[in-house]
Amino acid sequence: MLVTQAFQSGHDKVQYILNPDTGAYHPTAQLLMESVVAKRLNTLIKRNDLFDENANAAYCSAVAELPYELTPKQIEAVTTCLNNSVSCITGGAGTGKTTVLRTALRAYHRLGFEIHAVALSGRAAMRLHESIGFVTSTIAKLLREDPIEPSVDKPSHLLVIDEASMIDLPTMYRLVNHTHPSVRLIFTGDPDQLPPIGCGKVLADIVEAKTVANTMLDIVKRQEGSTGIPEYSKLINQGVMPEQLSTGAIHFHETNKTDIAKVCCELYQQCPENSRVVAPTKALVSEINKLTQQAVNPDSTNLEFEINGDEFFLPLRMNDAVLFTQNHYDKGIQNGSLGTLTNAKPSGDSYGEVTLDTGEKVEITQSVLDCMELGYAITLHKAQGSQFPRIIIALQNGRIVDRAWLYTAITRAESEIHIVGSSDDMKQITEAPSHSHKRNSYLKELLS
């Protein structure tokens, strides 16, 4: 039996037809959402040739503030953003996407645009703010606020969607319905990364359609003291097994499948404050979490609480790394939010407190108890859109793990990577064609 759910927001309406057993959208609903998104993008595509004298003056002013010169490709990317109502800045790690976006946004700011910069996760939004210097928010927070509409005092608006490879079709549909057709759009991201959990592959379709102005930055700028991570990830993305599996800040640990969890735990203990383990399956994540908690936090106070006179406890202890697995926007948490259990003492309706990675504090009430887990190790989808100083990758061949999975996992690291698994598995995963983008989608055709 199918459940039909009408969703009305702003300018268009779609019947969401859901299968209650799988939670999947009916193909008709997906096509309707794709049509709404394509209609908006096709309208914006026609509004180009916008790089006039004012835009040029704003561009020159923004570039003059830079402490270095842009490359020809970066100049092309900035001017493309200013010349088009919708554009993309794409490329892998270390190719200069952030520099281009920061420069383009400074120029837009000088042109009087109100800038709305969003990312899917709170951690990614915080990182975006640090890199561009403008106010940022999560997409969920933006969608809870008033729709973006031009007004007398703020006639021009720009919406920037960072880490756009993570945006699924229903999210993009909601964003389109939340913004006036005059709002300009900039997508930034890497279309070769793992596609979103939800249906669709919005960024990949936009790039493949070749109708939206897109500047692909593909030259990795080698810098003094470089980690080697951008170069390594580029090889993986091209299906090339690196000649040296351990190089620079990347360390490969040849490990039997049965010992992967144990080795990951040992590596975590070497630098707990900067590390996160990424694993492909919930079973492996759970095994690594239990081992790691026992190793790094064996004796702290358990999270115990009483509900209706009955006593309960969660397998969480003071100072444990915590992962939230559901959205509770009223509390400032969403699926994938990470933090530390900083208080395990019950008080009134609160059973303790978690301090999020963003610095915000969340009271543990009955409504969030069911969505708290250990967060020393997490699945890659929970890590998408975030970066961590030191990443430990539990590499295990299987249905989920392909080249795009490994490539995305590697690009989650800021400065150090440890890959735990077999070199034979890594070779097979790297050299086999990625199957991540083989999903049904019609957006590309609607844009073409």
What is the pLDDT, as a whole number, of residue 25? 56
Q: What share of the chain is helix, strand, coil (3-state, %, to 5)?
A: 40, 25, 35
Residues facing residue 393 across a β-bridge: 278, 419
Check: CB of residue 248 under 8 Å from CB of residue 224.
Answer: no
Question: Which residues have C-beta within 8 Å of that of residue 444, sequence separation ≥ 6?
Answer: 205, 206, 208, 209
What is the pLDDT, as a whole number, of residue 436? 66
* Amino acid letter for position 384: Q
What is the pLDDT, as a whole number, of residue 120? 85
For helices 229-237 and 403-410, angle between their N-to-C axes, nearest 10 degrees: 170
Full-model pTM: 0.85
How far apart are the C-alpha atoms of 154 and 410, rounded to whole Å?
41
Which parts of 23-150 fold into alpha helices (H)? Answer: 27-45, 53-64, 72-83, 97-110, 122-132, 139-144
Cα–Cα nearest to 280, from 131, 368, 398: 398
What is the pLDDT, as a whole number, of residue 224? 52
What DSSP designation does 194 have? P
Q: Which residues of 209-236 are buried (b: 16+ CB within 10 A; e: fewer)?
A: bebbbbbebeebeeeeeebbbbbbbbeb
What is the pLDDT, as a whole number, of residue 329? 72
Helices (H) and strands (E) in the chain, counts: 16, 20
Query: Tens place of pLDDT for every residue, the chain, 448 residues?
Result: 333 344 443 344 444 444 444 445 566 888 999 999 999 999 999 999 999 999 999 999 999 999 989 999 999 999 999 999 999 999 988 889 999 999 999 999 999 999 999 998 777 888 899 889 999 998 988 998 999 999 999 999 999 999 999 898 999 999 999 999 999 999 999 999 988 878 889 999 999 999 999 999 988 765 555 789 999 999 999 999 999 999 999 999 999 999 999 999 999 999 999 999 999 999 999 999 999 999 999 989 888 877 776 777 788 999 999 999 887 877 878 788 899 999 988 888 888 999 988 788 999 988 888 899 999 999 998 887 788 999 999 999 988 899 999 999 999 999 999 999 999 999 999 999 887 667 778 899 999 8
For 26, counting Cβ atoms within 10 Å of its Cβ (0-12 exposed, 13-18 middle, 19+ buried), the class is middle
Q: Which residue is associated with the tokens 């493309």?
A: 80
What is the pLDDT, as a whole number, of residue 310? 72
For helices 169-178 and 27-45, angle between their N-to-C axes, nearest 10 degrees: 50
DSSP 112-134: TPEEEEEESSHHHHHHHHHHH-S
What is the pLDDT, as a whole number, of residue 348? 82
Question: Which residues have C-beta within 8 Å of that of residue 82, sequence separation ≥ 6?
Answer: 50, 51, 55, 58, 59, 104, 107, 108
Instruction: Give the H/E segment covering residue 182.
Output: none
The vertex-440 CA angle with 81 and 215, nearest 5°, equals 15
Collapsing DSSP to helix, strand or coil, 64 comes out as helix
How far apart are the C-alpha atoms of 82 and 442, rounded to whole Å?
28
Check: CB of residue 187 under 8 Å from CB of residue 89.
Answer: yes
Cα–Cα nearest to 329, from 296, 366, 368: 368
Pairing of strands 372-374, 361-363: unpaired
How far apart are the C-alpha atoms of 287 and 70, rounded to whole Å?
47
- How many whole angstroms from its chain centre is CA 395? 20
How far apart are the C-alpha atoms of 102 and 117, rounded to whole Å?
11
Q: Which residue is associated with the tokens 């096709």?
A: 42
Q: Which long-range contacts (CB under 8 A, 24 or more apart) does 348-354 make?
A: 351/303, 351/305, 352/303, 352/305, 354/322, 354/324
How far apart are the C-alpha atoms of 348 and 366, rounded to whole Å?
11
What is the pLDDT, as a whole number, of residue 101? 97
What is the pLDDT, as a whole number, of residue 215? 97
